[in-house]
Chains A and B, each alone.
Chain A
Amino acid sequence: MRSLALAVLVASAAACTGSAPPHARAQRIGALEETIGGPHAIGRVGDFLLENDQIRLVIADKGPGRANLPFGGSLVDADLVRPGGPTDGNDQLAELLPGFLFVGLDPTDVKIISDGADGGVAEVDVIGNGNDLLQMIGLLDSALVFPSDLELTQAYRLHPGDRYVEIVTTIVNKSTGAHPFPFLDPSQLGAAGLGSIPAIASLQLSVPMGQLPLLGGEQDLFAPGVAGFNVHFAISDSYALAKGFPAFPGMVVDFLASRGKGVSYGITVQPSDTNYVNHYASLYANQTVTPYSMVIPFTYAGVSAVYMNEPPAQLNAGEQYSYTSYFVIGKGDVGSVLDTIYGLRGTQTGTFGGQVIDSTTSGPSAHANVLVLDANGNPVDQLETDAGGGFLGRLAPGAYAYQLVDAATQAVTATIGPDGQPTRDPVPFTVAAGAPTGVLVEASTPGTIAVAVVDETGRHAPCKIMLVGHFDPVHAGADPRTFLYSDRLGERRRTTAFDLSSTEFVENAWWTKDGRLSATVRPGAYDLVVSRGPEYELHSEPVVITAGGFAESEIQLERAFATDGWLAGDFHLHAAPSTDSGLPLDQRVISAAAEGLDVATATDHNFVTDYAPTIAANALDTWLFGITGLELTTFEMGHFIGFPLKVDPGSTRGGEFVWAGQPPKKLFDELHNDLALEPGNAIVDVAHPRQQVLGYFAQFFIDAANAKPYTPTGILGVFAPYGDEFRPENFSYDFDALEVITNNHFEDIHTFRVPDPPPAGLPDPQPIPGTIVVGSDGRPTFPGVVETWFALLDRGLRPTAMGASDSHHLLGDEPGYARTMVYVGAGKDKPGQFSRGDIVDAIKAHRTVATNAPLIEMTIAGHMVGDTITARGDVAVDIHVHAPSWAQVDHVKVYQGNGGAVVADLVVPATSGTDYTTTVTLHVTADTWVVTEATGTQNMFPVNSAVELPPLDATVIIQALSIGLDLSTLPIASKLKPQRQHAATPYAITNPIWIDANGDGWTPPQTPLDRRAPAKRAPAPDVRDAFASLPAVSP
């Protein structure tokens, strides 16, 4: 560490915004030019702009939710003031709204209270009623909050010159009597419908209130203390510290912040000895509690709940209660947010700043992360260096240390320590009140690698280039976060093989558009591994990279197998327009091409995206065909993919549609007709149908035996959505396709059976390995997508089976795994030879195979998947499985209609894992269908990453509740459930060939379901009849 003049530090880290004189104003947005703009900007005409000389915010008008939440009126956009208007905007906020337990504000009015013309505060208020954000826990909301009696207001107050907006949230008891909190006494919870939860009557609950910030997929959450950037898993860890209700389980934080490219966000409160956490301080005793403490019970996909207050035990008629919080906007790092928070709190501070330079060249290290640790080694701040390597932030007086995380390698980088020697250990420093502390950080020099890759024909082809390292075998089996990288410090995750026999990890991966790479890397000994999807073999060679050194390689890829007539398509891809993805469109299309995909369909959440301009800008037209689409994303009814769609350039989300509170048929009609490029000729594809909370079949409780919805009972009924749109008769079969394999969610493919051995700790009688796990109603607890699909086929419906990646990121969530192989005809699988219509027609004709690598060609007498043939008696099914050597198959199963019975279960010889041919003979006596499935046990690492960490989805809310409530009879909280962390192994399944045994047309083996006309509910009774049926005076 070397001291520098403070003036240099200040000059190098000077702020660049806020040059206008202090003012604040509020206005209704009258033109798109008045909006903010940016990756997640959804503000539009009619919304409310709140801005001052530092920051800009957009509050949505009332009405249905647009992108993420079911209600309007939320804070949807937030950014610093920038000079260029919407084209220069950098909003990365998804949304923010108040949370009263899990009740949100459903607005009836949004209005300007003060426009700031008097030179003072500008204010926009959102007024409305409470409504369930998640109907699944509506019963709990009603029992604890009972929002029907309450009027809710969220006031956004912006003062001139501030980089935060003050949020005052008010609840008013509009009833004529007292309104207790919780609304029901514990003894009443059972009678209110929660009796299925064991011991509920003896459980004293509470009503936490706060804010629900959806900070967006581009923002990395940060909380000072044990979490650092490891917020999600630190919350999970905090569950183990929970001491039970009435304190809701969760992580206690002093403030919540984030980092992102050019903008960051934070939330804090004023000190209080009686706020929610401090009220229950004894129940949070094993966490650090401060007067500013808030509790975060869960976070997923950028969605968080931050609870800071609780109402009084009772509000009398007309009484109101308010709490205040602050939403802060920073420059992209945590430090700029913390600076504002210190100012808000009036904390005495000193400054910590300096410059980061390369120890060899003395050149500045731009965008490096300086992590500030407290005396316990916990991260408390993060400062990002500017283009000149400079950084500056405020800190409360005290002893600290810093570590450097390099921008290129995203790993802790050695710096020159006090003894002049390189060290990765934290370097100590102190900060005194009102005084500057300056450091010169000399970072060790990284290495450089240059690679050029061509395909089998000599073309510079899109491909994936990886550096695979080896960790010390003593760590085998340990959680890689404990020794390989630090989530807390914000290092990039290094994926591992998730295999006790392997010490491999991916140091970094690059998806290139032309096989050319020049990159800065962490010095070390690696394997240089190159892939280009399942149709190519892996190339691997050792490489050693030294500090300041340079390594290079020229590589030619080898084709694994031919796929004449087949296109590889991924029809479920996300990028930056999705709330929970921060991936730029450039990287999305390049990565799709590099994984050997021929077709990429854009399916951002509630956002119509067109990849074509990005494909053209990256000169990828000869490799990749883009299809415009959308993932219509409901909060808890499921996700529905539609393509090809048209883009509405006048909409800030590419098209106008409604998704909240709609029955499925309405959603399908929007995709089929209103948004379709050719109305009536779009594909509606049900995404991850069996995924908990997010899957259509899961949320409608579709019985895998007959593909019909049923009404759940017991605890499943308690946690079931209640809206009219969820009525069983509203379930619609009007979809064209469904994902049988999504990403590496192997656990959803087949109905879950008891593993061998069963997990320990289950109550007697012990389950029998291999049997289907069933609930008290006798139905499978975790029904499979494939079994449900078979039931649909048996009842005459023909949704096309698809495979898709649902990729939101890159490493660990690669595009193309899974994918759909689409047969468009021999010789037509070359760029320019096929059209969008060919792809749609092939999917509608069921000429597809869902796979994450192997390709199955199944034929009967020359007829292929999707065909209906006439045959009786012995029918020969010819099967040919192709696979690359890194994804070999070892089992093939053949299923037949009328129950999906396995008619052949074949072990593939080890010598045939890449090229297996067989013929299976069926004895056909009645109309049926046949499907072939191929599986393997080979670990597909490093091409297709394992699921190493628990997936983040809405089930975390239920899991958080299950810490304090006994929800063990709820499937997702039970001990006997599918393993969600596993290696990626080969899987493929064909679409059917339908066999007409009599030549009189194909007849479903089971009673047909009507695809186009879902059952209508009985008409409401005539009001005259209803009145006449009543006695004059009822008892």
Chain B
Amino acid sequence: MTRRVLVAAAVAGALAGSPAWGHTFPPVRTVVLQVERCELAVLVGYRPGTGEPTDRVFARSAARPGQTPADGLRDVLAADALHPIALTLDGKALVRTSIQAKIGIEPGGMRPMVIVLVTYALPTLGGSVVVTSQDPRSTRVSWQDRSHSRVSIPDAPPQDEWAPAAAPFLLTVGVTKGESACATSTSSSPRSVSPPHS
């Protein structure tokens, strides 16, 4: 986390201490791509905007039938977190193989937040992974390599550093190295959440 983020957090913290001042903070969405040998693990963190957007989240989660309030909030937040994000491989949408989410309240109690872990299968031959966001102003993307050198480093953005989502985020992933090719995964987690929808 850069000091700029800390500065923003400090400012947010200052505001949280005196809500009467009436500030509104925009949504924040972070996307970390972890390239693995045969999978892409994506950790998405999301906080809705303060004020009315947060109120809407709570209202939607309360309106979901047959769920505990926490599960409802988790599913609504996870849907909002993932909705603007699209991942493609050579122009084709990547298929999720698992999705898990956990929720919390940000320090100061201003708004809820969600952490979503989504995995995708990476084919043996690799290709160009592109991340785009329909909400670029609130989205930042970074990546890290656990792939045993599948990522073409010279072409990649700096690792472990945030990039704004104003432009598509591109990673070139090469052929799987090693004795066996990647199998197509269809596994799903027992803790998976409902398929997100807007």
Question: B24's contact among A177, A190, A1019, by CB below 8 Å, is which?
Answer: A177
Q: B144: which of A174, A184, A1019 is its contact (CB, 8 Å)?
A: A1019
What B residues does A457 contact at CB under 8 A? none
In chain B between 1 and 31, which residues have their CB closer than 8 angstroms to a CB of chain A?
A: 2-4, 6-8, 10-11, 13-15, 17-18, 21-26
Q: A251 vs B142: C-alpha distance in the bound complex, in angstroms?
A: 45
| Chain B neighbourhood of A1030, CB < 8 A | 102, 104, 115
Q: Are A1034 and B103 in contact (CB under 8 A)?
A: yes
Contact flags A1003-1035 to B (C-beta < 8 A → 1, else 0)? 000000000000001011011101100111111
Closest to B18 in A: A188
Do residues B11 and A183 form an inter-chain contact, with CB atoms below 8 A?
Answer: yes
Distance, CA A191 to CA B10, complexed state (A): 7
Check if B102 sits within 8 Å of A193, measured CB to CB: no
Task: Determine if A177 and B23 form an interchain contact, defined as CB atoms under 8 angstroms apart.
Answer: yes
Given A176-B26, A722-B2: A191 touches B17 (CB 8 Å cut-off): yes
Q: Which of A954-1009 contact B (CB under 8 A)?
A: none
Report yes or no: A191 in contact with B104, Cβ–Cβ below 8 A: no
Chain B residues near A766 (CB, 8 Å)?
none
How many B residues face the partner with a CB closer than 8 A?
45
C-alpha gap A227/B113 in the complex (Å): 56
- The CA-CA distance from A52 to B102 in the complex, in Å, is 60
Residue B50 contacts which of A177, A189, A1022 (CB distance < 8 angstroms)?
A177
- How many Å lie between the Cα of A1024 and that of B22 in the bound state? 37
Q: Is A553 an interface residue (CB 8 A)?
A: no
Instruction: Flag if B24 contacts A175 (CB, 8 Å).
Output: yes
* B60 sits at the interface (CB 8 A): no
Nearest CB of chain A from residue B44's CB, rounded to whole Å: 10
Minimal beta-carbon separation of A747 from chain B (angstroms): 29
Would A1019 and B26 count as touching, CB distance under 8 A? no
The answer to whether A187 touches B7 (Cβ under 8 A) is: no
Q: Which of B13, B49, B100, B104 contacts A177 (CB 8 A)?
A: B49
Chain B residues whose CB sits within 8 angstroms of the CB of A180 once the complex forms: 21-23
CA distance A47 to B43 in the complex (A): 38
Q: Are A1035 and B105 in contact (CB under 8 A)?
A: yes
Q: Which residues of A contact B83 (CB under 8 A)?
A: none
Please, which residues of chain A bring their CB within 8 A of the CB of B4? Answer: 138, 722-723
| A139 at the binding interface (Cβ < 8 Å) | yes
Contact in complex: B18, A176 (CB < 8 Å):
no
Of residues B2, B3, B104, which shows the largest number of chain A Cβ atoms within 10 Å of its Cβ?
B3
B 26-65 binary contact with A (CB < 8 Å = 1; else 0)? 1000001010000001110000011111000000000000
In which size bucket is the chain A interface?
Answer: 35 or more
Chain A residues contacting B100 (CB-CB under 8 Å) are: 1027
Which has the most chain A C-beta neighbours within 10 Å: B50, B52, B113, B117?
B117
- Interface pair B70/A148, CB less than 8 Å apart: no
Tell yes or no: B166 within 8 A of A by CB.
Answer: yes
Cβ–Cβ contact B104 & A193, under 8 A: no
Q: Does B146 contact A (CB under 8 A)?
A: yes
Nearest B residue to A106 via CB reads B164
Shortest CB distance B123–A (Å): 20
Residue of A nearest to B2 (CB): A724
In the complex, what distance in Å separates the CA atom of A193 from the CA atom of B51? 24
CB distance from A153 to the nearest CB of B (A): 15
Which of B10, B49, B53, B70 interacts with A1033 by CB under 8 Å?
Answer: B70
Q: Is B148 an interface residue (CB 8 A)?
A: no
B102 with A1023: CB separation less than 8 A? no
Whether, in the assembled complex, A486 has its beta carbon less than 8 Å from a beta carbon of chain B, the answer is no
Contact at A1023–B103, with CB atoms within 8 Å? no
How far apart sit A865 and B81, CA to CA, in the bound complex (Å)? 64
B137 CB within 8 Å of chain A: yes
- Asked if A45 CB lies within 8 Å of chain B CBs, one says no
Q: Does A423 contact B (CB under 8 A)?
A: no
Identify which of A178, A190, A1023 contacts B32 (C-beta below 8 A). Answer: A1023
Residues of B within 8 A of A1020 (CB): 32, 142, 144, 160
**Contacting residue for A174 out of B23, B50, B137, CB 8 A:** B137
Closest to B104 in A: A1034
Q: Which of A176, A192, A724, A1027 contacts B102 (CB 8 A)?
A: A1027
A146 close to chain B: CB less than 8 A = yes
Q: Is the CB of B15 within 8 A of A184?
A: yes
Q: Would A1033 and B160 count as touching, CB distance under 8 A?
A: no
Q: How far is the CA of A180 from the CA of B18 in the complex (A)?
A: 14
Interface residues as binary, A811-845 with B (CB distance below 8 Å gives 1, 0 otherwise): 00000000000000000000000000000000000
Contact of B41 with A1023 in the complex, beta carbons under 8 Å: yes
Bound CA–CA A504/B183 (angstroms): 88
Whether A185 lies near B53 (C-beta < 8 A) is: no
The residues of B that contact A1026 with a CB separation of less than 8 Å are 43
For residue A1021, give the distance in angstroms from its CB to the closest CB of chain B: 9
A177 CA / B137 CA spacing, docked (Å) = 15
Complex alpha-carbon distance, A1026 and B115, angstroms: 10
User: Quick check: A192 and B52 within 8 Å, CB to CB?
Assistant: no
Expressed in whole angstroms, the Cα–Cα distance for A1032 and B4 within the complex equals 29
Determine whether A272 belongs to the interface, using a CB cutoff of 8 Å to chain B: no
A143 at the A/B interface (Cβ < 8 Å)? yes
CB neighbours of B90 from chain A (8 A): none
Shortest Cβ gap from B1 to chain A (Å) = 10
Contact in complex: B105, A193 (CB < 8 Å): no
Q: Are A1033 and B104 in contact, with the CB atoms below 8 A?
A: yes
A1019 to B144: give the CA distance in the assembly, Å.
9
B22: contacting residue among A108, A149, A178, CB under 8 A? A178
| Contact of B14 with A188 in the complex, beta carbons under 8 Å | yes
- Are the C-beta atoms of A1033 and B102 separated by less than 8 Å? yes
CA distance A350 to B102 in the complex (A): 76
Tell me if A148 and B34 are in contact (CB < 8 A): no
- What's the Cα separation between A1035 and B26 when bound, in Å? 22
Q: Nearest Cβ in chain B — how far from A777, in angstroms?
A: 19
Contact of B43 among A185, A189, A1023 (CB under 8 A): A1023
A193 to B13: give the CA distance in the assembly, Å.
10
Cα distance A177–B15 in the bound complex, in angstroms: 14
- How far is B117's CA from A143's CA once the two chains are assembled, in angstroms? 33
A184 x B14 contact (CB < 8 A):
yes
The residue in chain B whose Cβ has the minimal distance to the Cβ of A711 is B3
The interface bits of chain B over 95-110 (1 if a CB of A lies within 8 angstroms of the residue's CB, else 0) are 0000010111100000
Give 5 closest A-B pairs by Cβ, nearest first: A177-B24, A1034-B104, A722-B3, A191-B14, A1023-B43
Extra pairs beyond A184-B11, A184-B15, A1030-B115 (13, CB < 8 Å): A139-B7, A142-B8, A146-B11, A176-B26, A183-B11, A190-B14, A191-B10, A192-B7, A1019-B144, A1020-B32, A1023-B41, A1027-B43, A1033-B70
> B-contacting residues of A (Cβ < 8 Å)?
108, 138-139, 142-143, 146, 148-149, 174-178, 180, 183-185, 187-193, 317, 722-724, 1017, 1019-1020, 1022-1024, 1026-1027, 1030-1035
Q: List 27 A-B contacts (CB under 8 A).
A: A138-B3, A139-B7, A142-B8, A175-B49, A177-B22, A177-B25, A178-B24, A184-B15, A188-B15, A188-B17, A190-B14, A191-B17, A192-B10, A192-B13, A192-B14, A722-B3, A723-B3, A724-B161, A1019-B144, A1019-B160, A1020-B160, A1022-B146, A1023-B32, A1023-B144, A1027-B102, A1032-B103, A1034-B103
